[in-house]
A and B are shown apart, each in its own frame.
Chain A
């Protein structure tokens, strides 16, 4: 019992630390990628390539004066950012990141620990999918309350738009999730990923997206579109449309309270990417079999990065690059070497594939933000009710028919 408690606390601490760091760097990634899409360089003043920019941003936001406007409804105005962050952080508890982690027994001097085998997940609920749907549905209260309690017409419009949008898009999203679940026959995320192992014809992975062809591909596209709307991201970011509503629901917020809404948005993005990875893209299963070298890929990528560093060092853009780039290159080669050791690469491979897929979906989020314009509000609503909903229902029926017949 006490071992379970200690292991759980350690796991929770690790997940919380990694998640919060990832949220901070996701913002750096977004600024960099957007900048390169728009032919700019992005943040590059704080640290090499602006890598310490998130830290600087956090210090700036913490030290800013925390103003409370005089005309707001104080209780709800104060509660709203907390609600938004709380319901954004909870869902990560049921998301599995990999198979299992085994730590051998340690007998070193005064330290004695038993051998531990634990799942790379905080908790495995047998209603995991429903849990995420329920908790993320509550997140809208944060935005709606922030908009209403600010006592400002732009904020109110933002909050109203957000709640209407969330309710409308939750329906097609739930239907799009239900379709692959018909074939997988479980609601636990671990069970869902276990149902996607193996390969068709020896090379095509048995991911959900390739099962029940072609209906699950439609489900995947519907899910991604609905997820963009649920997380209030471009092209569905009407609640904070800056050219109509100043900043929408968070107009009146400053310092860390503003940062809280930002954090909730990025955390929702991470959750949605993880859910899409687990439900449709096979979780931690590799995209091609190990016989064709899927476990060598991290080493190859690292070695490629090392070679790139040395090529840039040969024609340096700045004088300092002649010294720093070879060091970075050598450390990349070192990492590539470490990943060739089976004892290191075997437990890490699931996490690497999982994060690679989740990061790809996050990249698509940023990519879309850099390329698509915003919808008009009536278009957004008409799209949900007259296109997404009928397509999702039809898709669910056809998937059910195929599953029942096979």
Chain B
């Protein structure tokens, strides 16, 4: 049952991911990204990360992607213009395959063998455990990340101000 659900949601995530790149209209791409986020949330839930799954839905699918869609609608962005096909159009897919193959070889040969992850094995995904880990063991990375986001916000404000002046 778990394996079947994993297959279904993994397939949805991959198909939505491919659709995101293939679609020419920004709104279709943005909604495919929402599909990827939703499927990822389901996958987190299958692996026992309850809080992460909920956060994925609330923050990414429910807030950030709504902003994306909002901006696309506000600017009324039209469909992407297809340029002239160059050699890169045709060489892209084979080159990507070669690149992925090289990464796969690198991982299998140079990294230590990993253990298999079983469904239901990880049980520390509840909000309680998650919060405890976040505010004790990983406190410094957590706070540094929030400062990073603050800097990004300030940067956006400064850039927008320059435009207005």
Q: Which residues of A contact B (CB under 8 A)?
A: 76, 125-127, 130-131, 133-135, 137-138, 140-141, 144-145, 147-148, 156, 159-160, 163-164, 166-167, 170, 174, 187
Which chain A residues border B61 with CB–CB below 8 Å? 134, 137-138
Would A141 and B66 count as touching, CB distance under 8 A? yes
Would B127 and A163 count as touching, CB distance under 8 A? no
Name B35-79 residues within 8 Å CB distance of A.
38, 41, 50-51, 53-55, 57-58, 61-63, 66-67, 69-70, 73-74
Would B54 and A156 count as touching, CB distance under 8 A? no
Which chain B residues border A134 with CB–CB below 8 Å? 41, 54, 57-58, 61-62
Would B63 and A137 count as touching, CB distance under 8 A? yes
In this complex, how many residues of chain B approach chain A with their Cβ under 8 Å: the count is 23
Would A167 and B57 count as touching, CB distance under 8 A? no
Q: Which DSSP category, helix, strand, loop or mixed, fits chain B's interface?
A: helix
Q: Which residue of A lies closest to B41 (CB)?
A: A134
Would A160 and B62 count as touching, CB distance under 8 A? no
Which chain B residues border A145 with CB–CB below 8 Å? 27, 31
Which chain B residues border A126 with CB–CB below 8 Å? 50, 126-127
Q: Which residues of B contact A (CB under 8 A)?
A: 27, 31, 34, 38, 41, 50-51, 53-55, 57-58, 61-63, 66-67, 69-70, 73-74, 126-127
Q: Which DSSP category, helix, strand, loop or mixed, fits chain A's interface?
A: helix
Would A159 and B73 count as touching, CB distance under 8 A? yes
Among B34, B50, B58, the residue within 8 A (CB) of A133 is B58
CA distance in complex: A170, B53 (Å): 18
Also in contact, A127 and B66, with CB within 8 A (given A138-B57, A156-B73): no
Would A170 and B63 count as touching, CB distance under 8 A? yes
Which chain B residues border A170 with CB–CB below 8 Å? 62-63
Would A144 and B62 count as touching, CB distance under 8 A? no
Which chain A residues border B74 with CB–CB below 8 Å? 160
List, sorted by A's number, 17 A–B pairs whose CB atoms are closer than 8 Å: A76-B27, A125-B50, A126-B126, A127-B50, A127-B53, A130-B51, A130-B57, A133-B54, A133-B62, A134-B41, A134-B58, A134-B62, A137-B57, A137-B63, A144-B66, A163-B73, A167-B70
